[in-house]
Amino acid sequence: MTDKTVFIAHPCLKHHEMIKDICRPLQGLGVHFFGYTAVDSMNNGYCLGSRANYAEEYLRKKHVKNDLNYRDEKPKSKNDYDFWDFQELDANKKDLYQMAAEFDQGHTLSITKHEMDMTHSFHFSGHLADEGFNQRLLEKMDTLHAFMDLFNHQLKNIPELNEIYNHPELIDNPVTSENRTITLIDADPRSFTIDNKARHTINFKSESKYLLTANERNCLKWLIKGKSAEMIAEINHISKKTVERYIASLKEKFQCYTLFQLGQRVVEYGIAELL
């Protein structure tokens, strides 16, 4: 029995065209590979990836055990940011990163969200020759967050993707916040210059001050569709004043004064098709 036969039932291979299509908007950022890993409350690990050839090797070597497996018992409000190029990796992660390099994948940024029952990690890799990849992702962080929202929505609502939960892999020792170093950065993530501070996991102290919140992304989605503040308020069952606050915050974060300018910024960021 070949490796291909063993893993063909995994959605990474079985539905790879669907996954690749979902990840297509990331190409505008130069993302060569997108990977998703998760660890649940029972320490079961799950994975999906946008490239079938890499996924097959990843599954064959059970690299989900060697990936960025964080799991905290309590949810965290802050996201974790890991820049693999700058960190000192253990032997297993070095093996995984070397394998990724063989598929022209590198400069990986992993963003981790901690929820009560599941920890989600989103991995964005560029081409090996793309030295400016990490800095560019920081500048377009709102676009990454919008994609993460979209991917989570697809994962919950598309049965073919939901099949990953039929393929658990026990994670022996998931890493908690207590046994790793976290560097707290008080700066705008979009203008943060990567340096030796990225040697450890990064948390941004005032992330919501600079990056769009989920409510602001929702508001932006309806603005793009031509809805007025009053219409958005009715759709979301909130007050018009609340919507107006979201719009004011959107203008501030995108550094513009009018809705027309906001539309231009949205095009520049490539965020529209992800909302």
The pTM for the full model equals 0.92
Q: Which of 16-30, 116-130, 137-151, 184-198 has the lowest mean pLDDT?
A: 184-198
Q: What is the DSSP string of 100-143?
A: HHHTT-EEEEEEEEE-SSEEEEEEEEE-TT-TTHHHHHHHTHHH
What are the C-alpha distances in Å from 28 to residues 24, 25, 124, 186, 256? 8, 6, 13, 28, 23
Which of the four pLDDT bands, split at 50, 70 and 90, describes residue 164?
Answer: very high
In order of start, what are the domains of the chain with their CATH numbers?
A: 3-210 (3.30.450.80), 214-274 (1.10.10.10)
In tens, the pLDDT along 165-184 reads 999 999 988 888 778 889 99
Secondary element (H or E) of residue 207: helix 207-210
pLDDT at 1 over 50: no
What is the band of 2 on the pLDDT scale with cuts at 50, 70, 90? very low
Closest CA to 144 of 12, 19, 269: 269
| pLDDT, position 4 | 55
Find out whether 98 and 105 touch, Cβ atoms under 8 Å: no
Statement: residue 8 has pLDDT above 80: no
Measured in degrees and rounded to the nearest 5, phi and psi for residue 26 equal: -70, -15
pLDDT at residue 6, rounded to an integer? 55
State whether residue 10 is helix, strand or coil.
coil
Average pLDDT of the chain to the nearest whole number: 91
- Look at residues 71, 36, 267 and name the one whose alpha carbon lies nearest to residue 162: 36
Cβ(106)–Cβ(126) under 8 Å? yes
